[in-house]
Structure 1
């Protein structure tokens, strides 16, 4: 069946066809138009601190080795031998001088250069090893230690791509003078759903909380009341999103400081609580008076990176076809926190948003069921409605971007408008 993108998503993205999530042809177009053209999150510099350090990553379904070279440069190479195509790296992370293909033992340096062909000594016509290194990701750039790669050599610089999203990400990252640190390997699990559903959820869908997570986030709970009174959804650029509460200036420290609204902060030691208070005490000097009052919820960077403020987790929705996603989730802590407090703070993330987390299980079930709804028969004529708050978008003197209340679905409409534009640009060539 031919794809008519204008029929799949209408111009203001208030009506969206179920085929957007379920159609194989749409997915194949997404791989070229989005994952082949945009900046994609690869990892964090704290994961590859020393020469020879490496971690594995993905760009859509393409396996990537992210490594620190001998001169300190960061390299991203496709994990596929140029001889017979096998992966040359089988470990999730580590430190090495060489990546070696197990089939014929071709070996590559951490920057992807081909170093050794054992069979060379048995032949007279020597191949040019300079032409046979691992395929490189042509663009790799960082911001605040976050590493992104792109297959698009002509893409705009990463800082321009992030744009005003830096204002919102920096509201959390820049609170910590030493920056942030990714702790351990990511949790990884497979969900029978489309990659866009976790992304959409964490772009700004704060109003599912009192319903799907009612046992923890009831409408009359402190968090629910704060969302009703102080929540904003902001779209800095179409596709990116930030949801947060902008608390009043006289909010007590323990009601605004990062970490206190989680059980780890509430039940933690006096030492941990005093550390969290000390971070908030310097927040205004670090990020300014407006951002110091931000109490974040969930953020998204187009196309598939999410960040959970309260539980300090970065998450990537890796596509594995139109109806399957491999979800990666890292716990993140302040890099200059004492080591024993880092371990306490790590529980902040896993208890709620690891694969067995209290909220993650409920979210995953909702995404699975939504994806089933996208694949049912005889419903193609009933578009899904994304029009809540349509036309109510506004601006705010202190917040860059398009600003809405928490219940407005503009965060999702803006994502799908950009999605539509990217796919149309690919089709129209």
Structure 2
């Protein structure tokens, strides 16, 4: 079939009356789809870039990507955060090769064109070799058309006519605000981070971060080591929820069995913000829930104490290769003992020698191997778990107006995600 004639029906089979939702594994393996996703999603929507605390002082910078486009984020002398395209206007080389640093200038390694960190072209070797019409003022680094700081979380877009950010973030913004505001003094991202590449599609990395169902099986050894009971996570009597918030945003939400933000075993909660930043409803729920918030298309914020608060950024490189960046964040004003405990917990699970991430990567690679099956029915994944359950009137609606609510182990969020994905990539409404 001509790729340009493909439609959503080539990738998804769904029927609400018959209670099934099947996703072709080609969603994860088709290069044509990957190119469509780059164009329709990453280049024409909002994408998470960094947290403001990663640019602490003037002239701090870091490099990242929007899809395949290299980006520099910098805090200028005046304290403004800018997004610059990391490409020399001369012959296209990267002007900044470091992942982070502090500098007033960026100098292209190819021919020495030099730019200020606000993008202006300052110097060109042998300027007299260019004609009189050569205008340096018009050859500065290109800027990202859209950049938003949302409670410290920086998002950007390469599109000048992208929908308003508030429309994009929707209900997910309420939970992001809760993360940012509930701690006195706010949060900060720690200096170090973990980066790894894995031969899987980017959507697998995004989905797995809010997959509740896998935990007692994939992470059994971790739960045993820390003395948790993994069986609770697949007990339908548990209150845990899978939420679809609309706009492609997902939540794996858990109700706490005990207070987890403590200094020690007998410590009392210190973290709830009493300075008026939170509403009474937000305070109520902040002490009851913890969650993984997946914001379409490339960031998951883990609001959990153990194994540790984390911001995970997904970077699609190829259809079958993804880079993942894990940053740890903590409350700025938390007691020292609490910070040390949380960092140890994070390293124990998410670190390179941890017990969590390696297990996740192994099963995601196994799934990718299975996606090589092309037989007509054998290539479909079944995402119908929980389609018969309805949590529409759950009390969580007091905090966030979720479009779809299921049990924590259900595929509710994924069905919502792929409804949005179908609309963005193919311009088609999935009737489910």
Deviation at 1:17, TM superposition (A): 0.8
- Alpha-carbon distance in structure 1 between the residues aligned to 2:84 and 2:277: 39
Q: Counterpart of 1:71 in 2: which secondary structure?
A: coil
1:361, distance to aligned residue in structure 2 (A): 0.5
Q: Identify the match of residue 343 of structure 2 among 322, 346, 349.
A: 346
For structure 1, which segment, 385-394 or 89-98, has the greater mean C-alpha deviation from structure 2 after superposition? 385-394
Counterpart check, 1:420 vs 2:422: yes
Cα pair 1:55 1:66 within 8 Å, conserved: yes
* Bigger mean CA deviation after superposition, 407-416 or 151-160: 151-160
Match of 1:384 in 2: 381
C-alpha offsets along residues 321-348 of structure 1, whole Å, 9 cap, x if unaligned? 1110011110111122356753543233
Q: Does the CA-based 8 Å contact 2:13-2:22 persist in structure 1?
A: yes
1:404 and 1:410 in contact (8 A); partners too: yes
**Of 115, 124, 140, which aligns to 1:117?**
124
SS of match in other structure, 2:214: helix
Q: 2:325 — aligned with what? A: 328
Query: In structure 2, do the counterparts of structure 1 residues 54 and 380 end up closer, same or farther at CA, with 3 Å as the change threshold?
Result: farther
2:152 and 2:180 in contact (8 A); partners too: no
**Partner residue, 2:298:** 304
Residues 419 and 355 (structure 1), Cα distance of their counterparts in 2 relative to 1, 3 Å cut: farther
| Equivalent residue, structure 1, for 2:251 | 242
The aligned counterpart of 1:19 is 26
Distance across 2 between alignment mates of 1:45 and 1:285: 19
Following superposition, the deviation at residue 31 of structure 1 comes to: 0.5
CA distance in 1, matches of 2:417, 2:310: 21
- TM, length-normalised to structure 2: 0.87
Q: Distance in 1 between matches of 2:81 and 2:228?
A: 45
Which secondary structure does the structure 2 equivalent of 1:395 belong to? coil
CA distance in 1, matches of 2:359, 2:303: 19
Q: Residues 131 and 340 (structure 1 numbering): CA distance in 2 closer, same or farther, change over 3 Å? A: farther
Q: Pick the aligned partner of 1:404 from 390, 403, 406.
A: 406
Report whether the alignment pairs 1:206 with 2:212.
yes
- CA deviation digits over 1:5-53, x for unaligned, max 9? 2221235681111110001111111100111112111101111122211
Equivalent residues of 1:256, 1:295 under 8 A apart: no
What is the deviation of 1:281?
8.6
Task: Kindly indicate whether the alpha-carbon contact (under 8 Å) linking 2:184 and 2:271 is maintained by their aligned counterparts in 1.
Answer: no
Of 9-18 and 318-327, more deviation after overlay is shown by 9-18
Match of 2:109 among 102, 108, 112: 102
User: Residues of 1 paired with 2:156 and 2:381: CA distance?
Assistant: 33
Question: TM-score, length-normalised on structure 1?
Answer: 0.87
Is the CA contact 1:143–1:159 (under 8 Å) kept in the aligned structure 2? no
Q: Partner of 2:269: helix, strand, or coil? A: helix
The partner residue of 1:9 within 6, 9, 12 is 12
Question: Which digits, 9 at most, give the CA deviation of each residue in 1:244-282, with x for residues without a partner?
Answer: 2234xxx6xxx1233x6xxxx7xxx67xx74x7311595
Q: 1:379 to 1:11 in 2, by over 3 A?
A: closer
d(CA) in 1 for partners of 2:100, 2:207:
29
Q: Secondary structure, in 3 states, of the residue corresponding to 2:13?
A: coil
| Worse-superposed segment, 221-230 or 8-17 | 221-230
Q: CA RMSD in A?
A: 2.5
Please state how far the C-alpha of 1:154 moved relative to its aligned partner. 1.5
* Number of residue equivalences: 407
Distance 1:355 1:418, change over 3 A: farther
Where structure 1 has 5 or more consecutive residues not aligned to the other structure, the ranges are none
Q: In the superposition, relative to structure 1, how do residues 281 and 85 fare at CA in structure 2: closer, same or farther (>3 Å)?
A: closer
Is the partner of 1:345 in helix, strand or coil?
helix
**For the Cα contact (< 8 Å) 1:217–1:224, is it kept in 2?**
no
Is 1:279 the counterpart of 2:279 in the alignment? no
Partner Cα separation in structure 2 for residue 77 and residue 419 of structure 1? 28
Q: Quickly say closer, same or farther: Cα 1:285–1:115, change in 2 above 3 A.
A: closer
Residues 179 and 334 of structure 1 are in contact (CA less than 8 Å); yes or no, is this contact kept in structure 2?
Answer: yes
Q: Distance in 2 between matches of 1:417 and 1:40?
A: 19
3-state SS in 2 of match to 1:242: strand
Name the structure where helix makes up a greater proportion of residues. Answer: 1
**Deviation (angstroms), 1:79:** 0.9
Task: Work out the CA distance in 2 between the residues paired with 1:338 and 1:117.
Answer: 51
SS at match of 1:375: coil
Q: Provide the secondary structure at the position in 2 that maps to 1:403.
A: strand
| Separation in 2, partners of 1:340, 1:390 | 44
Q: CA deviation at 1:60?
A: 1.3
Q: Give the stretch that moved more between structures: 37-46 or 172-181.
A: 172-181
1:91-146: CA deviations, max 9, x gaps? Answer: 11111110000111101111222121122134442511222112211100011100
Q: 334, 342, 355: which is aligned to 2:352?
A: 355
In structure 2, distance between residues paired with 1:421 and 1:239: 10
The answer to whether 1:170 aligns with 2:172 is no
Instruction: Tell me, in whole angstroms, the C-alpha distance in 2 between the residues paired with 1:395 and 1:403.
Output: 9
